[in-house]
A and B are shown apart, each in its own frame.
Chain A
Amino acid sequence: MSEPPPSVTTQESPEAPRRPQPMERAGQTGRAVINSIVEGSPAVVTFLAIVAALFLGALLIAFTNDAVLHAWGQFFSNPGNAFAQAWDAVFAAYRAMFDGAIVSPATVAAAFHGGSVGAIFYPISQTLSDATPLILTGLSVAIAFRAGLFNIGAAGQWIGGAIVAGYLGFAVSLPPVIHVIVCLLGGIAGGAVVGWVPGELKARTGAHEVIVTIMLNYVMYNLLSYLLGTPKALQAPGQSNLISPNIAANAQLPHVGGPPPAVDAGFLVALAAAVAVGWLLNRSTIGFQFRTVGANPSAARSAGISVERAWVLVMAIAGALAGLSGASVIQGSAVHAITFNSYGTYGFDGITVALLGRAKPWGVVLAAILFGALHAGGTTMQAATSVPTDISQVIQGLIVLFVAAPPLIRVIFRLRHAQAGSMEAVAKGWNG
């Protein structure tokens, strides 16, 4: 997604001596763009996958709508009405989704008539807020992928981070900025411990990380409920429900850019994490070791890299990122307390985000923003058209399904076959 199409440079390089004329150069660029489209570069495949997923989602919306089904029941007496009803249902749903995720024309019009300008940016800010935890869990899964490990445990690591960050948030009192940072660091540490366990077990005993991370998820779900139901641990005083006290105002992430757009500093933290992961993977020795271990553990071992150490380290880092995601939600602008189900679907969405982003940091950021938009838009859509918000989960799954199989997209859209699979093998089989 974030990569430039490789076919462009290789085609131009042989004929370099003569400086091309402006017109010619424009023609070449144009041809390169067309080539990358017909050959299906990763970016194009991703775009077409989104189109195909939205189309299938549209069919699902249309054919679960009572009015549409009724109109199709009378297809032979009034075929036009059947299509019109289907179109109306889909158009209304997707328009509401667009309004809720990107920009609503109504607020723009209102701004011209003395309404709030900030309201225009509300949907975008909602999208970025929803994207924040997904960026972090996506990075968590992605960095483990790069070292050849499959981290299904982001949900449990998320909880580890949320528990520590939340506890530090309400149990201690510190000055403004320091409190935020202490809580974020606590979240990192909490997640890192939960992530470290499967890495250490894999290194020491060979226990497969997929099993251990899945099991740790359930352990953490129950641990969270236990702590939230224990008055001296996380439960709010005087509560019988599974909920923690609100964290102190000093521990909450500050807003960025005025009250109406609800983006908090968590988004910037997530972007910083993406930069850090990008640096770590591509510019540092440890990152090189991770990638080598991921590409070929035997070769890495022959080259003197400690594969076991890389596994332990990468799982701890993956856990730290997922834990930071937990901290960013608890300290964020929407939630201030931990509940028994506040882990939501962040962990598993992280897997799809990492896959769509091809396990590259900037790919993860873009994929998370796309899914954040689907979440934010889905909520608005459900309120406006009563189409359940679960449709965004279906669309999300379909997008990744299509992206995972570039040959299929090529067949559907009749693209020429260029490189072999453009999705690198990010996950490995059981024998790793």
Chain B
Amino acid sequence: MKREIPIIITFVTGILMIIDFFVPHPPFGGLSSLFEIFFTIIFSFATILGILALSKINIEKIYRKRETYGYNIVLLVGLVTMIFCGLVWGIGEKSPFDFLYMNFMMPMQSTMFSLLAFFVASASYRAFRARTPEATLLLIAAFFVMLGRVPLGYQMTKWVPEVFPSWLHFLQLPIIANWIMDFPNTAGQRAIMIGAALGIASTSLRLVLGIESAHIGKE
């Protein structure tokens, strides 16, 4: 029954949501609104569950003094401090929570994101090689897009309209970059999106009909 009940709930909910979409009249119409409220409540409780799971895992690691248990202590201290400040003084402007957010969270997250530039530069030097025709194509596209999407690219080729006839104006880097983005890129992205959408639809159908049940531990 531990496995059958979730399958039945998924089936009933899935079918009701499909009917609600096509039949906007009572008793089906408006069911999705009710389910949205259920979802918001479950979402909030899932957050609490997530915090508890995170705490449990980290406390275990600290207790067993795993190699990097210092990081686990930092994580738990941060978690408890933020929750404590938020619950006691609220999250409004100039509250301790706001202070920690503005002076710790913001610079730390920005730093983490900024570090990407350094790793991208290092990787581009060491790993971005024209080993195959596909990689060469990617390299050429990257060259045009990286330069064409910044003012330097415009500056480098802004003389093109003055020197060449109008039918050769496309030689400006920003125009080449925009063409790559608008045509080859969009075509590829559309193919990925349509493929992913079909995949989601088929997986959802499998879940609703109970064919797919790996998520509840069934083989």
Bind each other = no
User: Which A residues are within 8 Å of any B CB, using their own CB?
Assistant: none
